[in-house]
Structure 1
Amino acid sequence: MTWIDIPANAAFGPETLPLGVFRTGDEEPRVGAAIGDQVIDLAPVASAQMLDGAQVFTQPTLNAFLAQGRPAWHATREWLLDLVRNENNRDAVEPHLIPRSQVTMLLPFEVADYVDFYASEHHASNVGRLFRPDAEPLLPNWKHLPVGYHGRAGTVIVSGTDIVRPSGQRKAPADDNPAYGPSQRLDIEVELGYVVGKPSQLGSRVGVEDFRYHVYGVVLLNDWSARDIQAWEYVPLGPFLGKSFATSISPWVVPLEALESAEVALHEQKPPVLPYLASDRLTNLDITFEVYWNGELVSSPPYREMYWSAAQMLAHLSVNGASVRTGDLYASGTVSGADKNQRGSFLELSWGGREPVTVKGEDRTFLQDGDEVTITATATASDGTQIPLGAVTGRILPAV
């Protein structure tokens, strides 16, 4: 319940209260919380109420807030819940409610490092069948560790930023030599991104039980992928220029605390994982994504079927002593389900371009200039309540 008027089908209800960074006109960027179709400008509210650490809401990124750690995150969430639930706070908050249509959303945090995983068995199996039709779909290591690669933090961009079609080397199987030019097989990847707040020390390891101590929340993520560039370059060292040109994230970071009611048990992992990845308390999130290609719904990938949990991903990326830092972003990898309409990339949806998808009456395989892709997601609580997680959008511009 809240005293704030929330329209039907609003992006965020009074229990979610995600944080982001916005600006109005020429004013300095600052931190806000989303509710309904409005943004609470937190800096003046926190200052007027003499909230401890109020200065973090005046910053142009969430990093100062993220660095405070779990006790501060929880205290801030309790404060926000009281602001929107308690009628006595109306006079303090109402003057600082801004319609979301009047703000410009910015990248919510400065990305320190970016790691992308490959945690969906359905996706990994589909890709294996596409590229290794005469071999086992999964490589021998896949069920023993969360496979991942280190991405490029500097090209993580906020939703709404246009995507310039990347150029690079391409070589089709029938070609004798590679050629240079714009990607002809430009794709998306539906993913969930995890935002690290509390850092760890170099040489230490983050255990699976310490996940909530380090990770504040989640964003929706689209890992744009140039499949033709990727296919030529990825052997033997993996993704590089086919992935590094752009990764879009939603502008609002949804706290893990807002998603506790959507947690489900992780599916059984066979064979049993090594001890540093094992716990009897591993969970997943019951989240359903929706992929809109030029406004048409083409896929609904389910996150609850992911093979590897977020806690295992974090434990694995640090098991060698690599530190995590405030602002680190790590992503789940493409989210795909068992059914065709649950595939989280156009590579899978069109089965390598051999089975076109109908979009607005046209047969389509990969992205054309002018296409726009919007990914939304909703978590489902144990009581059936729907928790919207926002959207991430990007439009394709011609190569330069």
Structure 2
Amino acid sequence: MAYGLDNLPYASVVGTDGRRRAVVRFGDDVLDLTPLDSTLFADGTLDAFLGAGRQAWADVRGRAQETIEAGDTALTPLTTVRPVLGFAVADYVDFYASIHHATNAGRIFRPHGDALAPNWTVVPVGYHGRAGTVVASGTPVVRPTGQLDATTFAPTRALDFEAELGFVVGTPSTGAVGVADADEHVFGVCLLDDWSARDVQRFETQPLGPFLGKSFATSVSPWITPLAALQDARFPSVQTPAPADHLLDTGRHRLGIELTVRVNDTVLCRSSTTDLHWTYAQFVAHLTSNGAPLRTGDLLGSGTVSGPEPGSLGCLLEMTRNGAETVSLDDGGVRTWLEDGDEVVITGSAGPITLGEVRGRVAAG
């Protein structure tokens, strides 16, 4: 079963009565979590549950498994409810963790310089996004207008997707969190598409990082797969050269999640998070190393997940070499960048564990 007892991802759903409920998914049904803990799930969201900490996560997961196995509580068909984003996004930070993506982008933008900046293998590079523009899967992505060059303010002509994994923070912190303690704070993962207007990004990223070229929309899957379901998809970190001492990761924080990207039903990418250079535990350690706290609902993006092969590139920027080439679709069409009406669907899995999908269709601006 794609969503068996070893999975049980979390979301909020809205029923035909308009009521919002926090649930776990089992097969093609959902289990209402309110009877399991009327305090944690009273408002139909996951917010209080995420902030309750690791022991509460384990207790609720165990009770949900027992309840489903016992069969003494009715399940609700997924077809009768609408999944929605189950938590309030506190802060959104997007990292740049794939050495293949970073190298490819560096070669595109700095053809006569070093592909990787000197800091890239020392610390996880990232930028702060806009939490208010994180939207649930299925929300239309309106083509943004921006400054394309010094004289042109117009709808982007270079709209792109980025196939990513998102990490959802549960337990807050009051200061620095070490790599070894990251699992006390990170609840689970979701699929993420960090939409990008490459022409806007190119003009504005002088000298600072991404801003309006990325802040118009970030799509996430409504289902959050808990780290507890991914124990068999965890591996030791492999890093050369070794990072700064406070970022050394000797645990099993490298996840093996396979991503597939489709544009209008054409598979354009198959990549794996095993190829990421930096781990989510290092994201947490670096993010908090200056004393910045974690908040319940913080969302940490992995950055584009790309591999070493042509078929494993996680965005059109890499596939088309910044618009210099095209990719072919199964319907006979070709693309350099996304067109209005195009739908991007990213799916993910880790062995028998299915992460679901995140999808978005481009609408004219």
TM-score, structure 1 as length reference:
0.89
Residue type of the alignment partner of 2:71: R
Cα distance in 2, alignment partners of residues 186 and 63 from structure 1: 33
Residue type of the alignment partner of 2:152: A
Aligned partner of 2:87 among 101, 109, 116: 109
1:131 shift after superposition? 0.7
Aligned to 1:200: 173
Cα distance in 1, alignment partners of residues 76 and 253 from structure 2: 36
Q: Does residue 1:17 correspond to 2:1, yes or no?
A: no
Cα distance in 1, alignment partners of residues 125 and 256 from structure 2: 22
SS at match of 1:191: strand
CA RMSD of aligned residues (A): 1.2
| Runs of 4+ with deviation above 6 angstroms | none
Q: Trace 1:218-229 onto structure 2 (pairs within 5 A).
A: 218-229=189-200
Aligned partner of 2:345 among 374, 392, 398: 374
Q: Is this contact kept in 2: 1:128–1:136, CA < 8 A?
A: yes
Cα distance in 2, alignment partners of residues 135 and 334 from structure 1: 22
SS at match of 2:172: coil
Q: Does residue 1:79 correspond to 2:63, yes or no?
A: yes
- Per mean C-alpha deviation after superposition, the further-off stretch among 129-138 and 76-85 is 76-85
Q: Is this contact kept in 2: 1:267–1:305, CA < 8 A?
A: no
Cα distance in 1, alignment partners of residues 99 and 252 from structure 2: 17
Cα distance in 1, alignment partners of residues 240 and 291 from structure 2: 25
Q: Does residue 1:150 correspond to 2:128, yes or no?
A: yes
Cα distance in 2, alignment partners of residues 36 and 279 from structure 1: 35
Larger radius of gyration: 1
Residue type of the alignment partner of 2:100: H
Aligned partner of 2:158 among 178, 185, 191: 185
Q: Does residue 1:350 correspond to 2:334, yes or no?
A: no
Cα distance in 1, alignment partners of residues 363 and 124 from structure 2: 34
Q: Is this contact kept in 1: 2:249–2:281, CA < 8 A?
A: no
Q: Trace 1:358-369 onto structure 2 (pairs within 5 A).
A: 358-359=328-329, 360-369=331-340
Residue type of the alignment partner of 1:71: Q
Q: Is this contact kept in 1: 2:236–2:250, CA < 8 A?
A: no
SS at match of 2:210: coil
Cα distance in 1, alignment partners of residues 358 and 40 from structure 2: 25
Indicate the percent of aligned positions where both proteins have the same amino acid: 47
Aligned to 1:339: 309
Q: Is this contact kept in 2: 1:121–1:306, CA < 8 A?
A: yes
1:40 shift after superposition? 1.1
1:282 shift after superposition? 4.4
Aligned to 2:47: 63
Aligned to 1:398: 364
Cα distance in 1, alignment partners of residues 154 and 132 from structure 2: 23
1:83 shift after superposition? 2.0
Cα distance in 2, alignment partners of residues 279 and 303 from structure 1: 16
Q: Does residue 1:274 correspond to 2:274, yes or no?
A: no
Q: Trace 1:223-238 onto structure 2 (pairs within 5 A).
A: 223-238=194-209
Residue type of the alignment partner of 1:141: N
Aligned partner of 1:284 among 249, 254, 266: 254
SS at match of 1:237: coil
Residue type of the alignment partner of 1:269: T
CA displacement, residues 259-286 of structure 1 (integer Å, 9 cap, x when unaligned): 011111222331x211110132243111
Cα distance in 2, alignment partners of residues 313 and 18 from structure 1: 23
Aligned residue pairs: how many?
A: 364
Aligned partner of 1:251 among 222, 241, 245: 222
